[in-house]
Structure 1
Amino acid sequence: MAMVPYRQGYSVLPVSNSLFDIFDDMMDLPRTALTAKAFPIDVVDEGDSYEIKAYLTGVSKDDLDVELNEGRLSISVEVKEKEEDKGKNYLQREFTSYSATRGVYLKDAASEGLSATFADGVLTVHVPKFVEKKNVTKIAID
């Protein structure tokens, strides 16, 4: 088994002896926009509201943006490399600056009464449901 030299990108792949070597090499490719980070979310229907949880380990509250626009809830995160990390002589570095957005459409989401909390790497958003007021008028039949 030969060692695969480090590569800076997708452009150069070494000549492999087998198909398995090619798949092993693909696992070593660096992250790019094609393999952008995503984060898991859970959406729970609680009857009169929705509870959305986004699992964002290693993210601070300042890196988050949450919006509700015409029923579409968007959770965005943008993490940037810290200034004190630049210029260090890393032997291995897996952290990269990244941004990711997840969204969910909530057809009956109200735009009032929204709340969000962030603790222990979990963002919890509560979205009340829109209560449609029905104006029912009884019509007498002659």
Structure 2
Amino acid sequence: MLNLMTYPNAHSKMKSNNDLLDRLFNDSVWNDSFASSRPKANVKEEKDQFVIELVAPGFTKEQININLEKEILTIKGESEKKEQEAARYTTREFVAGDFVRRFSMPDSVDTENITAGFSNGILEIRLPKREENIDRGPRTIKIG
């Protein structure tokens, strides 16, 4: 079962994978005022792994840090460009600045073999499943 969740809801119980995927990023802790500093993420489950894709345009891989501590995966982006407080905007639809995203790792993830790549502003983190948690599909059980 997929238990990968954003950190604020890390201890919530979900009834199904679909329910989890539908509710994964609907944290009441966050509202629209924080949306610009919290990059969007996709989480998908594949047969042998989970994949997190996080949008981080304007960042380089050197400006992004990924840490795993006590089963919490933390992604931090630190921008070299600091906001100019004196700037006067006529329209402002995005804010380029530092960000932090946290995800709770399910027991099914092999945390020793997590990998990450960064290309064209997309951070991709691959979370392989432990061998015993890979779905081998349906099989017939013989009665002894």
TM-score bracket, normalised by the shorter chain, equals 0.5 to 0.7
Corresponding residue of 2:64: 64
Q: What's the counterpart of residue 121 of structure 1?
A: 121
For residues 22-101 of structure 1, the aligned pairs below 5 Å read 35=34, 37-81=37-81, 92=89, 98-101=97-100
* SS of residue paired to 1:68: strand
Cα contact 2:37–2:95 (8 A) shared by 1: no
Shift of 1:105: 1.6
Q: Hey, what does 2:102 align to over in structure 1?
A: 103
Deviation at 1:44, TM superposition (A): 0.7
**Aligned-residue offset at 1:80:** 2.3
Contact kept in structure 2, 1:112 and 1:128, CA below 8 Å: no
User: How far 1:114 sits from its partner (Å)?
Assistant: 1.8
Q: After superposition, what is the alpha-carbon deviation per residue over 1:20-46, rounded to whole angstroms, capped at 9, x for unaligned? A: xxxxxxxxxxxxxx6461100111111
CA displacement 1:44-76 (0-9 Å, x = unmatched): 111221111000111111110012234322211
TM-score by length of 2: 0.54
For residues 71 and 127 of structure 1, the distance between their equivalents in structure 2, rounded to whole angstroms, comes to: 12
Structure 1 length normalisation: TM-score?
0.55
2:142 is aligned to none
CA distance in 2, matches of 1:39, 1:96: 11
Q: Structure 2 counterpart of 1:56, which letter?
A: A
Q: State the Cα deviation string for residues 92-119 of structure 1 (Å, max 9, x = none).
A: 5968773211112221221222211100
* C-alpha contact (below 8 Å) 1:80/1:96 kept by paired residues: no
Tell me, which stretches of 5 or more residues in structure 1 are unaligned?
1-33, 134-142
Task: Work out the number of aligned pairs and report it.
Answer: 96
Going from structure 1 to structure 2, the CA distance change for 1:106 and 1:92 (only over 3 Å counts) comes to same
**Larger-gyration structure (1/2):** 1
Aligned to 2:112: 112
Supply the RMSD in Å over aligned alpha carbons: 3.0
